[in-house]
Amino acid sequence: MFKITYIFNSVDSGWSESWYIDVTTHDLAMATAMAVAPFRAKLLGSCAQLEAIRVSDPEIFGDAKLREFEVAALPPQDDIADNPGNTILCRVEAGPLYRRAMYLRGCPDTWIRQGEQVGCGLAIADEAITALAAFKDQILGGPVFQLAIHTKDGTGAVGTEITAIGPGVDDETSIITSPGFTGKRGEKVLMKQWRGPDSRILNRSRRILAIDGNDFTIDFDYTLLTKPHKDVGGIALSRHPGYAPVTDVIPERPVIKSTGRAFFVQAGRRKRSPK
């Protein structure tokens, strides 16, 4: 199983869209992603573009293979892209049990009709629905794109008892002792049923940074605890994701939902030159 991430930019805003695909190698995953990419790019206006595609193996922490998308291979788009915050909300379904919201950003400005054009409120133009149908045919055409899910059929992971928590090798980590825990490095662990003054900050999901026998290191600052913990009695639940093939992509309605900075914009505070 591989994760496919499409990376987009529009002026000074950026966003990504991720899917999963069941193939055997990075090259096969990239080839499938590249074949579908032009159909997603056709849903963008003239100021928005699909910059790159990243393929990664979820089982390998930090794994990534990146390839730029050739924008010049597509015919120019006449309509300017709408603000990335103006999106078409789509419902991605994977059978009757699983669904996910997909915010279709960067669409041509004419695809979201508003105000006097539709009488009131917002509406999706017919050409948007037609173009989205062509994209849907590609992700369902095989190999079928999939969603990462937490199973609802009763076969989820069983929690193991947490017997101790202590400081990690640096100030920003902690070591949890939980005999029988089956998580993997890079995955998340859901900790629950902690009691006491620190339960609010301990009962949540944390990233697993390392595993050594019955001990695993998480990204939690041990010094934030009010006092040392022993025999805490909590539960560690490994968050192994399952996967389900996408069965439909349904455009619902236009919505406003902001996004982050473009991927080429430097993060952090801007440095000011001395006067």
Domain ranges of the chain: 2-150+243-261, 160-239
Those residues whose C-beta lies under 8 Å from the C-beta of residue 268, and which sit 6 or more positions away, are none
Amino acid at 202: L
Task: Write down the pTM of the prediction.
Answer: 0.71
Asked whether 128 and 87 are in contact (CB, 8 A), the reply is no
* Predicted local confidence at residue 240, as pLDDT: 67
How many Å apart are CA 47 and CA 150, to the nearest integer?
37
* Predicted local confidence at residue 271, as pLDDT: 53
Sign of the alpha-carbon torsion through 158, 162, 168, 173: positive
pLDDT along the chain (275 residues), means of 10: 91 89 92 90 87 87 83 63 86 89 89 60 80 89 84 59 85 86 81 78 85 88 72 71 87 84 62 52
* Predicted local confidence at residue 119, as pLDDT: 47
CATH of domain 160-239: 2.40.30
Give the bridge partners for 2, in sequence order: 21
